[in-house]
Structure 1
């Protein structure tokens, strides 16, 4: 099916696709900033409001559990109302949640603000990758869709840098954490203004019977002959099936059920590496390893930098290396890093002068491996594997599972480290990584080099699960 399409050609349509992906990725930037800002804001916030380990976990995880609901609802709502419409609505929600946080008088309102931001973050985590995947040509779909995850880690790095600057310059002020949160309003405004000028997904338009609008959109991001041929291919697979698949129908289908379980497994496995424990509690981990608070705040920038660098390497890889190979390398390397962090924390006792630097280096290696081989690949993969009629539902459920696992770690990570230290925590992550390797090797179908319509046709017969 892919070979029937005219080849990609250069032209203004390629630049237009770049602009669309740039604007949509403000959603990823907001995702990253809002999940990363708590890393540096938590300690001054806790000191001012008198939070202890459990309430710290609640403040951190409230966003994450709300994101699980936002992911599930966002995918389904984007199926009903459109990908672009949802991104405009999410921009408004990001702004409102930020305003509530900045003005929060105490713990309860603070949690409400985090919940509002969580709903927006979860919605963005499902809608942005699908929007980009449905606009991108299959030859470069991985690098286009993967830009969102680079924006996510870019947002986290921005949060770490803002936290460090504000923490050092204004750390003596009680409300410094409010300023850290307030910065999020700027990309929310940019996303809202930008998406008002962006097109709707052509595949969503076809599914809703709006053929001419879909062709008009494709003509802005493809050469003329490619736009016409691609529209015909989308229509051939979509046929007259404009209705959305209910979850009950998915569960009755052997192959759809299996693909849904694959999506859930990929989403949960990515989170159980513990990556977001580092992104949320990195400063606390570094303090526990031996850094003082200000040194840890500065050192915490290093994982953010390596995450962005790894993201750009991942973008280069997405259209060149098979997804299965990328996942196997990623889970293999992160598991090795977990084991080494556990060993280092045993071999180098607290107070040893090189202990904090060794653990920092291993954390940086872990984050680099994660971002290069797993984070970008996970969200690209989830945006590809589901057929059009259940794409919002499928990625919504997979992202829901991802965020629930994320939330569980966010809630209990401080307690886990308090109970078992760095050693037990990272050995536990290593055991989960070994199980993830087995899952990838035995269950994941390959998606690189296939059109979304070709994948959908293969899923209908089950041939997509055959080893290539």
Structure 2
């Protein structure tokens, strides 16, 4: 998730340069440890991909209960995202990440030893709370610890770690399945691996500092200055601390929005646009591939061993796609990137559907052609809409209502994710691959129309400029 400029950018010009020194190494270590939260996010959402087949056989899952087990984590993530920000505001970013590491470990072990699909679903929900909490806490912690010059690069590391965690899950699943695939409980070993980064996150965060911004907001200025001295050059630490009070006062005055602000028509419209962005990102079906890619490839004609190995390409091209997306995100207009991305996504949906429909079962080329088009879809999605939807959600809302609006939109995004995750197995089971991807293509066309008609351009504008221009333009249309 990329965070745009904030009030810090208005005082950045007054700060001395942050010269390199021992503090640079300390900051790098903080980023490595904290982004283990993103790695866990990715691994726990991706590990079910290769684990589903042996899990179905061991626990007797039907398409309905399979969708329940997968979507339970995503529903938990929706609620974790809602409460995670509040907990980190109250108890501190570091404290919240430590707690989440414990929940990650507890939820993982509960899943590993689950005797039935009902128990597994319950622990997947608990694991989802940790995933959702990490999705809102880790980026905020990185943004508040990092100097403004490095904030973008450090925060986007978390997004890279998320897709890297999914890729790691696909690779580890392939290795474990090909070595111990004959054992009915092999899926439990796949899930168990997630305990290792959870322990690493907990142990590592014990040695990491609290966010200086949060410490200052609690009146602990001496502690905040001590942390800044760890991650800034001496002159920069003193100067930045002097700005913290001014920034805190500005944000305290500005972040006073509530539900009553939705009575303002242009603000209400932006919230609906934000909700729409969350929905259209998820109805691409990207997480159907992240959760069920191995099963999809097996249905298309690969053997079980071949499908789980071929699925690692989805993880690899997800990482490559988001890397390209981060390189393009500040060079191409947001709307252009969205429209081109959705054009590519919808095209590959149609090609997947046509390949499944027109090529006969048993055809040698059919599974490989579907794999190529699925990989192209994943790359296009992660290179455009994947990171861009999060960025635009952070850019379009006025500061006074940003926290509330982001919470609402992210909740809807996660719930849409859960709906797609729950519905994908029974839809494929009843309709087949081709009709399922034609449905995704139809939703893609509707999403493209939504972007053309409603989504504004935000690139090249400060948050204040966008707010002023959009409110004025909306009033002029009335």
Q: Distance in 1 between matches of 2:395 and 2:243?
A: 16
Q: Counterpart in 1 of 2:159?
A: 149
The CA deviation at 1:359 is 0.6
Alpha carbons of 1:130 and 1:71: their partners in 2 closer, same or farther (altered >3 Å)?
same
Q: Counterpart in 2 of 1:350?
A: 361
TM-score (norm 2): 0.86
Q: Counterpart in 1 of 2:6?
A: none
The CA deviation at 1:63 is 0.9
Q: Counterpart in 2 of 1:4?
A: 13
Q: Is the 8 A contact 1:33 1:159 kept in 2?
A: yes
Alpha carbons of 1:74 and 1:254: their partners in 2 closer, same or farther (altered >3 Å)?
farther
Match among 334, 338, 359 for residue 345 of structure 2: 334
Alpha carbons of 1:240 and 1:358: their partners in 2 closer, same or farther (altered >3 Å)?
closer
The CA deviation at 1:308 is 1.5
Match among 427, 431, 444 for residue 442 of structure 2: 431
The CA deviation at 1:310 is 2.0
Match among 111, 129, 133 for residue 121 of structure 2: 111
Q: Counterpart in 2 of 1:263?
A: 274
Structure 1 unaligned segments of length 5 or more: list them. none
Q: Distance in 1 between matches of 2:125 and 2:78?
A: 10
Q: Counterpart in 1 of 2:5?
A: none
Q: Distance in 2 between matches of 1:137 and 1:323?
A: 25
DSSP 3-state at the match of 2:384: helix
Q: Distance in 1 between matches of 2:83 and 2:272?
A: 19
Q: Counterpart in 1 of 2:388?
A: 377
Q: Is the 8 A contact 1:70 1:118 kept in 2?
A: yes
The CA deviation at 1:182 is 0.7
Alpha carbons of 1:189 and 1:56: their partners in 2 closer, same or farther (altered >3 Å)?
same
Q: Distance in 1 between matches of 2:407 and 2:467?
A: 20
Q: Is the 8 A contact 1:138 1:449 kept in 2?
A: no
Q: Counterpart in 1 of 2:315?
A: 304
The CA deviation at 1:307 is 1.0
Q: Is the 8 A contact 2:397 2:467 kept in 1?
A: no
The CA deviation at 1:92 is 0.7
DSSP 3-state at the match of 2:70: helix
Out of 133-142 and 177-186, give the one that drifted further: 133-142
The CA deviation at 1:298 is 0.9
Q: Distance in 2 between matches of 1:458 and 1:351?
A: 58
User: How many residues align structurally?
Assistant: 463
Alpha carbons of 1:374 and 1:356: their partners in 2 closer, same or farther (altered >3 Å)?
same
Q: Distance in 1 between matches of 2:66 and 2:84?
A: 27
CA-to-partner distance for each residue in 1:392-436, whole Å, 9 max, x for gaps?
544332221111011001111011112332222222222322333
CA-to-partner distance for each residue in 1:75-107, whole Å, 9 max, x for gaps?
232233332222111111001001111111222
Structure 2 unaligned segments of length 5 or more: list them. 1-9
TM-score (norm 1): 0.88
DSSP 3-state at the match of 1:401: helix
Verify: 1:164 aligned to 2:174, yes or no.
Answer: yes
Q: Distance in 2 between matches of 1:55 and 1:416?
A: 13
Alpha carbons of 1:312 and 1:465: their partners in 2 closer, same or farther (altered >3 Å)?
farther
Out of 397-406 and 81-90, give the one that drifted further: 81-90
DSSP 3-state at the match of 1:239: helix
**Which residues of 2 match residues 416-427 of structure 1 at below 5 A?**
416-427=427-438
Q: Counterpart in 1 of 2:106?
A: 96
Q: Distance in 2 between matches of 1:381 and 1:144?
A: 18
Indicate the RMSD between aligned Cα atoms, in angstroms.
3.0
